[in-house]
Structures are given as structure tokens and as C-alpha cells.
Chain A
Amino acid sequence: MARKRKGHGASNPAVSTAVVMVLYVTDSGPNSVRAIANLEAICKEHLNGNFRLEIIDVLEYPLRALADGVVVTPSLAKLFPLPAATVVGNLSDRGGVLRALGIVE
């Protein structure tokens, strides 16, 4: 599973540049499913379509996770804007995710 999602354009003045993220998951593992759902909710509420998200299933692309230095799944890597940041777990810690994405200080 490698899915790419793209927002519909920036309308939130607070976030002017697109956030580029990669979410590493394990097929339909329970935490992976939750992580996808939590991240979808955050993107919908805070990024307002101004993001690019790639979802990588490590069972399907094992070498990709290894190459990207991913240790556990689910893991969310924010690539842009810099600085890069990583959040592990099912992303139920909404504040931590928002901070990692640079949406809140």
C-alpha cells in the first residue's frame, strides 16, 4: 500500500506552504488504521487541503522504511517545511502531532 494524498489548495492563512508528510503503516494493523484516521482528521481541520501525504505500507515496501530510517510503524515523518520531524504511534496525541507539523508552537 503506497497511497499519495494531496490537498485541494491552501485556504488557511496560517499555513501558507504545503506540508509534505509520509506515514509509514503496517497493512491493516489496528494502530496503523487509527493513525490514518487521526491524521486525516487533523489534516482536514488544520491543513485545509494544503498538504501532501504519502502512506507507505512497510509490508509491501520493506526497503523503503529501512531507507527512510523508520524504526516502528505507524510513524509519521514531516518532510517539509523544515525542520523535519517524526511522530511515532497511532497519532492519538493530537497536540504532539500539531507541534511536529508546525501548526502550533
Chain B
Amino acid sequence: MEPALSLPRPTPFDTNVERGFKKAILRLVKGGPERLAIEAGEIDSIIDPANGRAILLPDAQRALIERKAGFRSLIGLAFDWYWEQDELYRFVSYRGAMDDPDGFAEEGIIGRALWDLSIDNMSETDWQTHRQQLEWRIIFRDLEIRRVNHAGEVRYFSISGEPIFDDREQFKGYRGVTREITERKEAETSVREQHRFAGAILDALGTPIAVLGQTGVVLSSNQAWRDFAATHSGVGTGVMTGCNYLAACDDARGVEQIDGMAIAAGIRQVIGGKRALFRYDYPCDSPAGRSWFALSVRGFTGNGEACAIVSCDDITDRKRGELLLGLEFTVARCLADSGTAAAALQSVIRVICETQGWDCGRYFCLDQSAGVLRFMESWGVPSAIVGQFLEKSRGMVFRPGAGLAGRVYQSGQPLWTGATPGAGVSSMALAPETGEDGGCVFPVTTGDTVIGVLAFSGSHVREPDDRMLQAVRSIGSQLGQFLRRQKATDALRRSEKRFRVLNDLASDWYWEQDSDFRFTQIAGCSAFGTADILGMTHWDLPNVVPADAGWAEHKSQLAARWSFCDFEFATVLSDGRHAYYSICGEPVYDEAGIFTGYCGTGTDITKRKRVEIALRENEARLRALVEPSPTLSAR
């Protein structure tokens, strides 16, 4: 329970004047309780029954005076000057700031209106607006004015005022307060200057930068950011100061939706302090082609609030370079994986089309005998129009200098058509050759020689930059070398095939031996079981004739690494008859020049040898018949 508050026993009516006052007021009060309360000092005022006005008792009067003085003191603390104006807005009272050091008193403010004073920051329009406010009798607050005092110092003041009306609601003028705000204005100017300085530094940076507040609102941005917004599109691009970057990312739709969500999530993590840095690369498609951007978000604490700095770089050139480098590697892999020139051309054309967003590509090969370029291979996206276009291309032949392909062949330099001004080639004129959307043709070379051209068509063909030209040269060179190598390989393969056919016609089998002359491979031999004789030498063959001594000369030839031809040997068959063979061989060396064995051919010459033996035997028999016997001659 709170104790009842009671005043200390007052000692009212101590003076003669107060005692007289007491008598006067007691005459007004008839009731006992009221009189007792007055006697007890518990009353502040008595209501005059004549007019209802309160007659203050001395203590109450003193309290009110003290309160008014206190209020004025507070006014003095809160404001520098207080003033009153008459109905013509002329100052009739102006006090404060210890009676106006450096206020308006030096130029005589009494009797003058505010606009009569030496104030230099108000235009005539400003004054008209202020006067209109006064005419409307409305309260005005914080009217900021500036003046230069006699000492040449610039001073700022803030003036607030309210209209005064009398009992009959007649306008009597204005009263108000004035505060000197010079320090505040100077501080504001200093802050503004610092802000301008910081802004100038930001603007000097070439990287587009925006500072986001805790809710994602762009607090400030630099000139590069504004320029970036004017020349680019994509997620969050174009969000200016005061707008919400996070909301723009959240609102991204279509192909940009995923990127928008990822970026918004990253920014929220940075602002939430879960990560210090967030990086994100994302593409943006536009009529001018695909662009790439690298977004970087870094957290920091500004003015006690978590903020994020967003910077955005156009990395299209770098990204295109990476893609082209990747394309070069992919082309190299395609060439390595392809077994034929046709397969290689198709896969290379395809990866180039898919990487660059082109519709189709064709390869025109140089027909050296005719001196013209002929259609050889193509690839296109599944489309009826592309299919028809490629079908029409099949019969195309270009002479050097004729058409885009012929010009590229002749000059060895890439050419392109398209919407790009300055490409130098009319796309419409070449539409039958390149398609109506545009085309890019570049040479396929081996060394300095052009052996064909690759021609691509599509709606996204644009003027190639240096990196693109470098890539097409590299791809053209890779492809050219592959085709030349493939051509040589094909020729070698054909030659080998031809040689084998001839070899098969000239001999019965083919053999190979290691460095110890043991068989490692035998092909086409019906005379010996292949599995039986692998690992053997010729002289180890079963029932071979001659015996060891007969091989001596042959072995010495082998030891000397000589080639040998028509070395004959025989084996004894199961019926006791001989089978005859003739072998030819030459030493084999590896890439380092080290002897690795022999290879050669073998021929079954049994029939011929038997005929020869039979002939020799017949000849011997005939000779025996013709020539007289020595015994007979002796007779």
C-alpha cells in the first residue's frame, strides 16, 4: 500500500497581505469542508462563483510561477531564441541566447519581417511559399536559413513558429523559436563531402559496385554499376539505388530463375554472416549473343548494420576464351577417337555447331586433280530446313575465288556473313550458299596449304574476335593435319593390303622369328602345325634335312644379319619321301636400331624339287645308257 502523500504543514497567510487574502477568499467559501481544507492548506484555488475563474492561493501561485520559469528555462535549453511577431509578421519580441550574441540583433530585427533580414539561402519563390504558409496561419517547423554576420561568418538557423489568436479567435501574429544549427550544418557538409569523396572513389573504380543494406536495398552504387545497367541485361542488372536487389533476384523468371535464386541465397548468406564471400558466374542470352557475368558478394558491417558489397564483371571474353579452348580440346579428342576422316569431320562439325550455337556445318574438300572444292561431309541440327539446306549442298562445287568457300580457299583467311556491319560480305547475296541467317567459313590447312574449308551456318553467327580467329585457325590446322595423316594412313593401308595380296600370291606362308631365330608367328603354313613349331628354329623342325652340319652356312648368314633368299631345306615325311621348302628372310630392327629377329616367307617347292630330282635321275639314266660303260670300253 502506497502511503498517502501530504504536503508538509504549510504556513499560509503568514504575511499581512496573505492574511487579508485569506479573509477575502473565506468570504467566498461557505461550506465547512472547504473551509477546513483551506485552513489545512490543502487547497490550490477557489472558483469565483461570479465568472468561474480560479483564484489561485499563494502556494499554488508560486508553484505555477516556478513551473513557468522552469519551462522557460527548458525552452532556453532547447532553443537559442524565442520570438513573437505581430499580425504583419514583424518581430515584436526577440530574446534568448543570452540576449543574442551573433543572432539577428546586430542588424536590428525588431520591427522587421523575416524576409527583410539578410538571409542568403532563400529565393523569392521560397519566401512566397513561406508567406503563403503564414497567410494560411499554419504552424511551420524547421525553416532553415543562412546568413553571413558582420564578422563574415556563415551561420545557419532553424526557425519554427505557430500562429497566435486572441480570445475572439482574431489572428495576432506568430510566435516561435530559433535554433542555431551552424555546427550541425557544417557536420552535414563534412559528412556530405566525405560521402562525395567516397562516391568519387567508387566511381573511379571500373568494376560495377553496389552496396546492399540488410534487406537487400541498394544503398549506393558507382558510375560503372549505372553504366553496366545501361548496356547489359541479366539477373539483378539495372537495380538502382533505393531499389531492392534481393527482390529483383527473387523475381527473376524463365531461364534466369535458377541463377536469381542462387544469387539471392548467396547474398542472404553473406548478409546473415554465414559466409564472408560469395562468387557466382552466370550467363545471359540477348539478341547480341550470350554474355557471361561474374558476381562477387562480400560482407561488411556499415553503420552497425550488416551490409554486402556486390560487384559484377562482364567475363564474356574470358568465358568465350575458355569455351574456345575447351572446343579446341574437344576437337582434338574427336580426332583422336575417330577412325575415319568422315567420322572425324562429322564429330568435329557437330561439336563446333553445338558449342557455338550454329545450325549446321559442311566440309568442302579440295579435289586436287580438278582444282575445285567439293562437298565431302556435313552435320546439322535435326530440322527440315537444315536438312534441305544440307541436301542442296551435296552437289556444290566451288572454284578458287568463287563463292564464300572459294574465296576462303584462295585467301586462306576466314570469312563470315551476318547482321554485323562491316563484315564485308552481304549475307543475302550468299544466302543460297550460307543460309539466310549468316555463315562462317574458315580454312582447313596443313602447314601453309589449304586443303579444304569448313562452312557453318546459323542464326548466332557473329563477327569473330581475335580469340575466335585463333581458335578456328587452330581447329583448321588440327583437322588439316588429321586429314592429311588419315589420307597417308589410308594410302599406306591400301598399299599394305596390295602388298599382302601380292605376297600371298608369291609365297605360301609368312613367318617371323625373334632374335634367337625362334618362330614367333607363322601365317598360311599348311606344311607344319603352327602351334607345334612356335618357339622352334628352322633347323629344329621335325625330320629336317640337312642335319646340323648342313645349316652352318645359313646360320652364319643369320648371325651376320644378312638377308637370305631361296634357302632350301627338306623334311622327311612319314612315307619316307622328302618334302622341300624354300625360305626367304630379312632381319628386323626396332626404332632404336636393335635387332629383334627375322621375318620372311616360305614356299612349298616339293613338286618342283621332285620333278627336278626325277629329271636328274632320268638324265643320269639316259646318260648311263648313252655313254659306254668303262668296263665295256675296257673290253
Tell me if B44 and A89 are in contact (CB < 8 A). no
CA distance A16 to B505 in the complex (A): 132
Tell me if B7 and A31 are in contact (CB < 8 A). yes
Tell me if A73 and B44 are in contact (CB < 8 A). yes
Chain B interface bracket (under 10, 10 to 19, 20 to 34, 35 or more): 20 to 34
CA distance A31 to B343 in the complex (A): 110
Tell me if B4 and A70 are in contact (CB < 8 A). no
In the complex, which residues of chain A have a beta carbon less than 8 angstroms from the beta carbon of B6? 34, 90, 92
- Interface: A45 (CB within 8 A): yes
Tell me if B4 and A27 are in contact (CB < 8 A). no
Which chain A residue has the least Cβ–Cβ distance from B41? A31
CA distance A1 to B107 in the complex (A): 41
Kindly provide the distance from the CB of B14 to the nearest chain A CB, expressed in whole angstroms.
Answer: 16
Kindly provide the distance from the CB of A38 to the nearest chain B CB, expressed in whole angstroms.
Answer: 5
- Interface: B295 (CB within 8 A): no
CA distance A30 to B261 in the complex (A): 67
Kindly provide the distance from the CB of A59 to the nearest chain B CB, expressed in whole angstroms.
Answer: 6
Given A29-B56, A34-B5: A70 and B47 interface contact (C-beta under 8 Å): yes
- Interface: B63 (CB within 8 A): yes
Chain A interface bracket (under 10, 10 to 19, 20 to 34, 35 or more): 20 to 34
CA distance A86 to B47 in the complex (A): 15
**Among B26-34, B271-279, B345-353, B585-593, which stretch is in contact with chain A?**
B26-34
Tell me if A89 and B43 are in contact (CB < 8 A). yes
In the complex, which residues of chain B have a beta carbon less than 8 angstroms from the beta carbon of A29? 44-45, 56-57, 59-60, 63-64
CA distance A44 to B51 in the complex (A): 36
In the complex, which residues of chain A have a beta carbon less than 8 angstroms from the beta carbon of B53? 62
In the complex, which residues of chain B have a beta carbon less than 8 angstroms from the beta carbon of A66? 47, 49, 51-52
Kindly provide the distance from the CB of B224 to the nearest chain A CB, expressed in whole angstroms.
Answer: 60
Tell me if A65 and B43 are in contact (CB < 8 A). no
CA distance A31 to B54 in the complex (A): 14
Render A45-80 as a binary contact track against B, CB cut-off 8 A, 1 for contact. Answer: 100000000000011001101110011111000000
- Interface: B341 (CB within 8 A): no
Which chain B residue has the least Cβ–Cβ distance from A40? B2
Kindly provide the distance from the CB of A93 to the nearest chain B CB, expressed in whole angstroms.
Answer: 8
Which of B2, B31, B45, B64 sits near A45, CB closer than 8 Å? B2
CA distance A60 to B56 in the complex (A): 13
Tell me if A73 and B31 are in contact (CB < 8 A). no
Render A73-105 as a binary contact track against B, CB cut-off 8 A, 1 for contact. Answer: 110000000000010111111100000000000
Kindly provide the distance from the CB of A31 to the nearest chain B CB, expressed in whole angstroms.
Answer: 5
Tell me if B42 and A90 are in contact (CB < 8 A). yes
Can you list 19 contacts pairing A with B, beta carbon distance less than 8 Å?
A25-B44, A30-B63, A32-B60, A37-B5, A38-B4, A44-B2, A58-B52, A58-B54, A62-B47, A62-B52, A65-B54, A66-B47, A66-B49, A72-B38, A72-B47, A89-B33, A89-B42, A90-B5, A90-B42
What residues make up the interface of B, taking CB atoms closer than 8 Å to A? 1-2, 4-7, 28-29, 31, 33-34, 36-38, 40-47, 49, 51-54, 56-57, 59-60, 63-64, 67
